[in-house]
């Protein structure tokens, strides 16, 4: 039944004993680096028909990031700022032009580590329709581990656990075609989860979804981080999705222009505007109220917080 495995994931290899997987990941937020880039540069080179270089785009320009195991990290940035190019380095789809990328201590340029890296750092893309290939939900989720050579019995256990983790277990017998965008995207996430990654990289996973779908997906992703202890790297341009992150990187023109906690980042409304980014609506409202003379702190992220602060004012 898993005859399409090669399409779904091109890594192959033996399964490993994952008996300790959940236990190990949920032992609290271990703080070793799971992802690290050192002076990463990536250039797209355009060539004409004769192979002569026509132009070079430096999509990632001397980027240093380090992401701790168990963290929820968000990456923000205007279109074309280099987010997707950076993300593709984190599971060895692209390799550095200069600099180094480590995933769980392994250099992505080291070919011997490729399978392990692809397994440890799973990617979820914008369009769920491009990621789901199974005719039935549970079959689709099983492709990844099948491809890794996981024994059949364990595949089913993983399918069950992964679908439950994203709240899609009751849809396991359904055809993905009948699901909403948010549901499909949760199935894609379950597909990655079933490979037992340490880290999930989501490249604008909610960009094609309606507000409900966005909420469902973000809720599921937060649970993976909170409950399962999986490192999450979320690329988004919806500011509301960032407020619970442990750390935020803001990219522009290929480099990291700001980083800090959501509160630190969203306190800098003017700077974000210069980078063509906004802030969450409630942050903007608080900012405008403050400018109009209401004594409020910077970087209010949630409605409850604004209400509490406004009550103090009276």
Residue 59 in contact with ligand ADP, rule: CB under 6 A? yes
Site for Mg ion in 236-295 (CB under 5 A): none
| Alpha carbons 14 and 277: distance in angstroms, whole number | 44
- Give the per-residue SS3 of 185-198: HHHHHHHHHCCCCC
Question: By C-beta, is 85 or 267 nearer to ligand ADP?
Answer: 85
Stretch that binds ligand ADP, among 73-81, 108-116, 143-151, 278-286 (CB under 6 A): 73-81
Contact 143, 195 (CB under 8 A): no
Q: How far is the CB of 215 from Mg ion (least distance, A)?
A: 21
Residue 84 in contact with Mg ion, rule: CB under 5 A? yes
> Which of 41, 128, 50 lies closest to 89, judged by CA?
41
Q: Which of 85, 126, 206, 286 binds ligand ADP (CB under 6 A)?
A: 85
The dihedral region occupied by 144, where left means phi > 0, alpha psi between -120 and 50, and beta the remainder, is alpha
Residue 37 in contact with ligand ADP, rule: CB under 6 A? no
Number of residues located near ligand ADP, criterion CB under 6 A? 11
Contact 140, 134 (CB under 8 A): yes
Question: By C-beta, is 34 or 86 nearer to ligand ADP?
Answer: 86
Stretch that binds ligand ADP, among 83-91, 102-110, 165-173, 272-280 (CB under 6 A): 83-91
With CB under 5 to 8 Å by kind, the binding choice for 237 among ligand ADP, Mg ion, none is none
Residue 79 in contact with ligand ADP, rule: CB under 6 A? yes
DSSP 25: H
Contact 36, 66 (CB under 8 A): yes
């Amino acid at each position: 039944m898993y005859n399409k495995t090669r399409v779904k994931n091109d890594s192959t290899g033996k399964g490993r004993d994952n008996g300790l997987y959940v236990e190990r990941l949920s032992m609290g937020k271990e703080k070793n680096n799971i992802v690290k880039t050192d002076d990463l540069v990536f250039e797209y080179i355009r060539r004409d028909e004769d192979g002569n270089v026509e132009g070079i785009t430096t999509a990632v320009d001397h980027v240093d990031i380090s992401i701790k195991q168990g963290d929820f990290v968000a990456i923000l940035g205007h279109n074309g700022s280099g987010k997707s190019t950076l993300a593709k380095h984190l599971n060895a789809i692209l390799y550095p032009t200069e600099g180094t990328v480590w995933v769980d201590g392994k250099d992505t340029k080291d070919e011997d580590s490729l399978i392990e890296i692809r397994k440890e750092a799973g990617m979820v893309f914008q369009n769920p329709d491009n990621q789901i290939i199974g005719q039935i939900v549970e079959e689709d989720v099983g492709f990844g581990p099948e491809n890794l050579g996981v024994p059949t019995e364990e595949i089913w256990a993983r399918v069950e656990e992964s679908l439950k983790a994203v709240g899609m277990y009751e849809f396991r017998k359904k055809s993905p075609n009948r699901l909403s965008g948010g549901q499909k995207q949760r199935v894609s996430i379950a597909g990655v989860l079933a490979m037992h990654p340490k880290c999930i990289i989501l490249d604008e996973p909610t960009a094609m979804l309606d507000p409900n779908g966005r909420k469902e997906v973000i809720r599921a992703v937060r649970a993976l981080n909170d409950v399962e202890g999986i490192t999450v790297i979320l690329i988004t341009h919806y500011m509301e999705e960032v407020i619970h992150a442990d750390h935020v990187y803001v990219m522009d023109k290929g480099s990291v222009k700001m980083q800090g906690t959501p509160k630190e980042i969203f306190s800098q409304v003017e700077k974000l505007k210069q980078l063509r980014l906004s802030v969450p609506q409630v942050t903007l409202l608080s900012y405008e109220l403050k400018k109009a003379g209401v004594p409020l702190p910077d970087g209010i992220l949630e409605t409850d917080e604004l209400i509490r602060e406004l009550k103090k004012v009276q």
